[in-house]
């Protein structure tokens, strides 16, 4: 959002209370033979986010976030989280942080990413979390607030976007997408978001109210400096970190390095069978498979007698 422009994020504005999203088809990826050979189907369980226990203790919900700074403005969600909305601040970091956390601003976002080393505050790439995911931040309008996570990035006066900012934001997006089963689909044109299955989108391309308007007062946040194609490449091909990332083969004993979603199939939009607590051990039964820029391994987890797919980035040799 443009923080020095007219307020437009407040949830005090009226929003639609009906869910008119169209049903979309499920991924047609077929599981590899290891599940079939066992004669056991990995049933769908309750979808739980990664790192939930850690978030309760430290407030931040992704490893990419460096600090919790609580915002005053947020509200209960009316819908689930399908989207990640990308913003730039149109102002320097410290002023943006003050605005996003002030009770008088009528705006907020879930995250703020530092872009420049030469402005006051932390170094470029620093990430603040301001609002918890289960609350709607006031970063867009109407239905968009209730369906999305909003990420603000320091930017002003055509000074560009630093690689440190892109990289930190990409790591953050991967975490959020995995946590909330958001497809890694990037939208770069006006989109009626309640009619799509979800993804990553710039603020200027979400509805400015209902789907009849995308004007946003003539602003084009996060463009023109934000390079969505470059960002997509980083999100899909970058290293998730997480303390894992070892290379495996069939029969290897592995352990999770954080609370980790085990999925029925190896893609972020596939069903979560269960969330494996940090330190859970399993045996590699299949893989690797590539999907959403992530390498996946098929595991048998004896503790739960489940067969699941997990991201390589959060697995290590036991």
Mean pLDDT of 68-93: 95
Whichever domain contains 50, its CATH number is: 2.30.30.40
Residues 187 and 250 in one domain: no
Give me the domain span that covers residue 153.
64-237
Number of domains in the chain: 2
Mean pLDDT of 301-305: 95
* Structure-token pair, residue 147: 């369906």
Mean pLDDT of 258-273: 88
- Report how far residue 124's alpha carbon sits from residue 118's, in angstroms, rounded to the nearest whole number: 9
Say whether pLDDT at 208 is over 90: no
Q: What letters, b where the CB count within 10 A reaches 16 and e where it falls short, cover 253-287? A: ebbbbbbbbbbbbbbbbbbbbbbbebebebbbbbb
Give the model's pLDDT for residue 257: 86
Q: What is the pLDDT of residues 125-142, one digit of tens each?
A: 999 999 999 999 999 877
In a domain, 14, yes or no: no
In a domain, 18, yes or no: no
Residues 139 and 277 in one domain: no
Residues 172 and 46 in one domain: no
In a domain, 233, yes or no: yes
Give the model's pLDDT for residue 128: 97
Residues 252 and 132 in one domain: no
Q: State which of 177, 202, 237 marks the end of a domain.
A: 237
Give the model's pLDDT for residue 314: 86
How would DSSP label each residue in 244-255? Answer: ------TT-EEE
Highest mean pLDDT pick, 19-28, 40-49, 104-113, 284-293 = 104-113
* Average pLDDT, rounded, for the chain: 80
Higher per-residue confidence, 219 vs 287 = 287
In a domain, 16, yes or no: no
Residues 68 and 45 in one domain: no
Say whether pLDDT at 307 is over 90: yes
């Amino acid at each position: 959002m443009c923080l020095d422009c007219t307020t437009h994020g407040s949830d005090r504005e009226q929003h639609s209370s009906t869910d008119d999203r169209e049903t979309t088809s499920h991924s047609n990826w077929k599981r590899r033979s290891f599940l079939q050979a066992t004669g056991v189907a990995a049933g769908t369980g309750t979808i739980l986010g990664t790192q939930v226990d850690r978030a309760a203790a430290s407030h931040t919900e992704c490893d990419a976030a460096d600090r919790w700074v609580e915002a005053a403005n947020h509200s209960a969600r009316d819908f689930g989280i399908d989207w990640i909305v990308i913003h730039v601040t149109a102002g320097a970091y410290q002023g943006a942080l003050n605005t996003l956390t002030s009770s008088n601003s009528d705006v907020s976002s879930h995250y703020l990413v530092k872009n420049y080393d030469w402005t006051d505050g932390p170094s470029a790439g620093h990430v603040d979390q301001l609002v918890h995911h289960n609350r709607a931040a006031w970063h867009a309008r109407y239905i968009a607030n209730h369906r999305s996570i909003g990420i603000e990035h320091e930017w002003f006066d055509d000074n560009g976007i630093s690689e440190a900012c892109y990289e930190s934001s990409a790591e953050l997006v991967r975490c959020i997408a995995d946590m909330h089963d958001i497809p890694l689909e990037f939208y770069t044109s006006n989109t009626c978001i309640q009619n799509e299955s979800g993804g990553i989108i710039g603020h200027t391309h979400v509805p400015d109210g209902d789907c009849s308007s995308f004007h946003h007062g003539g602003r084009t946040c996060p463009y023109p400096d934000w390079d969505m194609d470059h960002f997509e490449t980083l999100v899909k091909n970058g290293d998730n970190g997480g303390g894992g990332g070892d290379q495996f083969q069939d029969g290897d004993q592995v352990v999770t390095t954080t609370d980790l979603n085990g999925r029925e199939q190896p893609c972020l939009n596939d069903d979560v069978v269960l969330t494996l607590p940090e330190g859970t051990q399993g045996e590699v039964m299949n893989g690797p498979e590539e999907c959403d820029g992530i390498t996946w391994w098929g595991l048998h987890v004896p503790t739960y007698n489940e067969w699941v797919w997990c991201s390589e980035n959060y697995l290590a040799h036991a």
